[in-house]
Amino acid sequence: MTAAVARKNVADKEVAWPLTRTQHELLVALASMIRTFGAERMLEAPLVRADTKDFPDRWEPTLDTVHQLLYRLCWHAHIDPEIAVVDTRPLRDDDQSMLRTSAIEIASCEAGVATFEVAYIGNDDVAGMLAHKVGQIFLELAPGEPFRTARTAADERDGSVAAVFLGLGVVAANAAMYRRHATRLVGREERSEQLIASAGGLDIADITMLVAIQDILRDDVQDALKTLHGPQREWVEQWKDVLDPHEDELRELLGLDEDRAPVSLSRPARPRVVAAGTHVENPKFNDGRDIARVRQRSFYGIAAGGFLGLFASAGLHAASLLVGVPALIAGVTAGVAFGWWRWCRPFYTCSEGACLRLIPTTAKACPSCGGTVSETITIPDLHARWRKMREEEDARDEQLDPSEFAGDVNSESRRRI
């Protein structure tokens, strides 16, 4: 069975009318947003293209670029929050994989300010992932929030629905499920990595359903749909074939026939620009946290002192022929003692696994990661801490229920793409 046939068989089971209970709940959430914020974003605002036409900024894995991308996504969505980006990345990037996954999370949303924590900037679909999160902060910062039921905060599913509502559906749908691949030469070998990646709170079937509904309800042709990935475009076309005869029912479900005052949409001529010098790359990530310094000694000085004493004694013996074996032993012993005193003094390193850099003897903080030195430990103490951490991680892993991951992207979702 070919991939296209397998994909069609899966789609036939999920693309159908009437909608499932879960799909109906998504329309209820979308209807709540329309009732609260108006239908203009859903039906009139330009749909955002997933290409350089709507994202002209050059991409680099830096804080400034991520910050600017968030401002551009908000500008596309006709919202204008203040955005703060906090760097929580490790000091050293030890990830040698070709496919690196970004870790950017919403830390807080209050008083018109959305704060994001950036733990890692990878080479995945960062714009698509952040499109879902922009939908989430839109709901978090919105007044009233009557569409929420028992939840106290907008979750990932709400954010994905809001992304479509805000006109970011194409960008968000492309990130909902996509294939990643990278290849490089290592010596005379060719190594490759493949991964099925996903972002947001909706799978590819549900988010393409919302995108298809948005296209059906609009009168003009949506040029942005041309920038959908191939699988997403197929899902949207199948959904349109199924849902197009039910446009009147969809309008009724979404409350679009109700009389309501129009909401005017406005935005500046261009997105906000991140001020120069806002971010410093690779800051001291342990600043303000307590760390320990590890007391160590290097014993290379003993060998150096021993050789120094041996050569000194041998030279004296060759010059005067008065130095015997006891004097040679005494010279080597003196050299070893000198090497221990001069070159085997204690030194200190940072205890943090992401740092492990040298700390000057009189320093109150690690100059590399910024952690405050609160205690001094030995190498055996450090190893004991690491063993305890591994035991705690193993204990947590044993408590995980494997059945929770039975439907992960390696099974059903992989077949869809």
> If DSSP codes are grouped into helix, strand and coil, which group holds residue 20?
coil
pLDDT band at 146 (very low <50, low <70, confident <90, very high): very low
Q: Which residues on adjacent β-strands are paired with residue 86?
A: 117
Whole-angstrom Cα distance, residue 56 to residue 48?
12
Confidence at residue 233, expressed as pLDDT on a 0 to 100 scale: 97
Mean per-residue pLDDT, 290-303: 75
Q: How far is CA 42 from CA 219, 223, 256, in A?
A: 12, 15, 10
Q: How much is the CA Rg of the chain, to the nearest whole Å?
A: 31
Q: Average pLDDT, whole number, for the chain?
A: 82
pLDDT band at 206 (very low <50, low <70, confident <90, very high): very high
Lowest mean pLDDT among 84-88, 125-129, 172-176: 84-88
Whole-angstrom Cα distance, residue 354 to residue 365?
15
Q: What is the DSSP letter of 47?
A: P
Lowest mean pLDDT among 125-139, 189-203, 291-305, 356-370: 291-305
pLDDT digits (tens, 9 = 90+) for 312-332: 666 656 555 555 566 666 666
Whole-angstrom Cα distance, residue 23 to residue 207?
10
Element (H, E) at 309: helix 300-320
pLDDT digits (tens, 9 = 90+) for 103-118: 999 999 988 899 999 9
Amino acid at residue number 279: H
207/407: higher pLDDT: 207
Confidence at residue 402, expressed as pLDDT on a 0 to 100 scale: 55
Closest of 175, 208, 243 to residue 7, by C-alpha: 208
pLDDT digits (tens, 9 = 90+) for 16-29: 999 999 999 999 99
Cα 8 → chain centroid: 32
Contacts with 241 (C-beta within 8 Å, 6 or more apart), sequence order:
none
Instruction: Kindly write down the DSSP assignment for every residue of 70-108, as one continuous string.
Output: HHHHHHHTT---EEEEEE---SS-----SS---EEEEEE
User: Taking 50 as the threshold, does the pLDDT of residue 209 lie above it?
Assistant: yes
Confidence at residue 152, expressed as pLDDT on a 0 to 100 scale: 55
417/58: higher pLDDT: 58
User: Taking 70 as the threshold, does the pLDDT of residue 1 lie above it?
Assistant: no
Whole-angstrom Cα distance, residue 114 to residue 107?
8
Whole-angstrom Cα distance, residue 172 to residue 304?
63
Confidence at residue 164, expressed as pLDDT on a 0 to 100 scale: 97
Confidence at residue 410, expressed as pLDDT on a 0 to 100 scale: 41
In sequence order, what E strands does 129-279 have? 178-186, 189-197
Q: Are strands 103-110 and 113-120 parallel, antiparallel or unpaired?
A: antiparallel
Confidence at residue 411, expressed as pLDDT on a 0 to 100 scale: 37
pLDDT digits (tens, 9 = 90+) for 328-356: 666 667 766 766 566 567 788 888 876 77
> If DSSP codes are grouped into helix, strand and coil, which group holds residue 191?
strand
Confidence at residue 196, expressed as pLDDT on a 0 to 100 scale: 94
Q: For the chain, what is the largest distance between any 2 Cα atoms, rounded to a whole number of angstroms?
A: 115
Confidence at residue 363, expressed as pLDDT on a 0 to 100 scale: 86
Q: How many CB atoms lie within 10 A of CB 103?
A: 14
150/225: higher pLDDT: 225
Mean per-residue pLDDT, 5-13: 52
**Does the predicted model carry a pTM greater than 0.75?**
no
Confidence at residue 409, expressed as pLDDT on a 0 to 100 scale: 41
Confidence at residue 417, expressed as pLDDT on a 0 to 100 scale: 34
171/260: higher pLDDT: 171
> If DSSP codes are grouped into helix, strand and coil, which group holds residue 400?
coil
Domain limits, the chain: 3-283, 284-297+346-417, 298-345
Element (H, E) at 107: strand 103-110
